[in-house]
């Protein structure tokens, strides 16, 4: 560079054109130095008009209160159910209290599996009751589990008794939540609302166990009238049951003549 000449200074026009980049650089430096505080403040300032108003805040608060109430009601229900099960277990040691540990969706109204078995004294044929009444009978047993055939299973047949009309009938599962009650007489004079219990003449289950109530009657049934029964035990949602354990004395083996 020749002596006496000043260094070249960028023209004012170039400086004016580059001001957006300078502004961006200053902003980035500010964010860096403030650790994001300036950016957060700017975002809060810009988004303030979209914040929830008083009506929205009340709605959110109401939703939270409903959620808490639902949780509290669920916990109270579980507490009552567990206290009832504990009381029943202490009151009658001859009944084995067991949890439902398995259930197949395809056979929901057919059977369930319990978390207790031969070790607890359960045997095939034992009656199984839940909150409200009879649920079914034990069909098979392992040392630690038991499979229960429900009253709603199509293979289930249980003798029952309608107390108001003093009539016997056969409760038959049809694979749905409501089994069918078939009467032995042509005119049993049954009507909706009649209570159904296990038959006093039954040899499969103890007599007098609550089964349910008659929901509807088909007087034109063949060969005899029939009725749809609403079970008193919640078979579809039951999670704890009691097995009515029979005598554990093994049968005497037969001896050769």
Residue 58 is assigned to a structural domain of this protein: no
- Residue range 82-112, pLDDT digits in tens: 666 555 555 565 789 999 999 988 889 999 9
Does any domain span residue 257?
no
Tell me if 4 is assigned to some domain. no
Domain of 33, in residue numbers:
13-50
Domain-embedded: residue 60: no
Q: Are residues 239 and 122 in the same domain?
A: yes
Residues 109 and 219 both lie in one domain: yes
For residues 220 and 123, membership in a common domain is answered with: yes
Same domain, 132 and 221: yes
Q: What is the DSSP string of the chain?
A: --TTPPPPPPPHHHHHHTHHHHHHHHHHHHHHHHTTHHHHHHHHHHHGGGS--HHHHHHHHHHHHHHHHHHHHHHHHHHHHHHHHHHHHHH-TTEEEEEEEE--GGGTTTEEEES--GGGT--TT-EEEETTEEEEEEEEE-SS-EEEEETTSTT-EEEEEETTTTEEEEEE--SSSS-EEEESSS-----TT-EEEE-TT-SSS-TT-EEEEEEEEETT-SSS-EEEEEESS-TTT--EEEEE----PPPPPP---
pLDDT at residue 78 is higher than 90: no
Q: What's the average model confidence in pLDDT over 222-236?
A: 89
122-160 pLDDT tens trace: 999 999 999 899 999 999 999 999 999 999 999 999 999
Within a domain: 90: no
Q: What is the pTM of this model?
A: 0.63
CA 28 vs CA 34, 38, 46, 101, 139: distances in Å: 10, 10, 19, 60, 75
Q: For residue 55, is it within any domain?
A: no
Q: Is 154 domain-assigned? A: yes
Tokens of 233: 């035990």
Residue 26 and residue 151 in one domain: no
User: Is 250 among the domain residues?
Assistant: no
Number of domains in the chain: 2
């Amino acid at each position: 560079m020749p002596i006496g000449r000043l260094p070249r200074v960028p023209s004012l026009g170039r400086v004016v054109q580059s001001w957006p980049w300078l502004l961006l650089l200053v902003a980035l430096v500010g964010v860096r130095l403030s650790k994001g505080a300036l950016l957060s403040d700017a975002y809060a300032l810009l988004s303030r008009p979209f914040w929830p108003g008083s009506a929205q805040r009340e709605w959110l608060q109401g939703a939270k209160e409903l959620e808490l109430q639902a949780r509290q009601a669920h916990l109270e229900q579980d507490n009552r159910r567990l206290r009832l099960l504990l009381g029943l277990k202490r009151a009658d040691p001859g009944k084995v209290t067991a949890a439902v540990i398995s259930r197949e969706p395809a056979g929901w109204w057919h059977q369930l599996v319990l978390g207790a078995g031969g070790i607890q004294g359960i045997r095939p044929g034992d009656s199984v009751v839940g909150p409200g009444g009879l649920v079914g009978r034990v069909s098979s047993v392992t040392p630690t589990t038991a499979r229960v055939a429900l009253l709603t299973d199509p293979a289930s047949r249980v003798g029952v008794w309608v107390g108001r009309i003093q009539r016997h009938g056969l409760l038959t599962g049809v694979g749905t939540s409501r089994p069918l009650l078939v009467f032995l007489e042509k005119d049993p004079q049954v009507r909706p609302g009649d209570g159904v219990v296990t038959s006093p003449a039954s040899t499969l289950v103890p007599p007098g166990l609550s089964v349910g109530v008659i929901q509807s009657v088909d007087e034109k049934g063949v060969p005899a009238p029939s009725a749809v029964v609403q079970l008193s035990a919640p078979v579809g949602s039951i999670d704890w049951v009691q097995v009515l354990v029979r005598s554990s004395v093994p049968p005497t083996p037969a001896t050769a003549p």
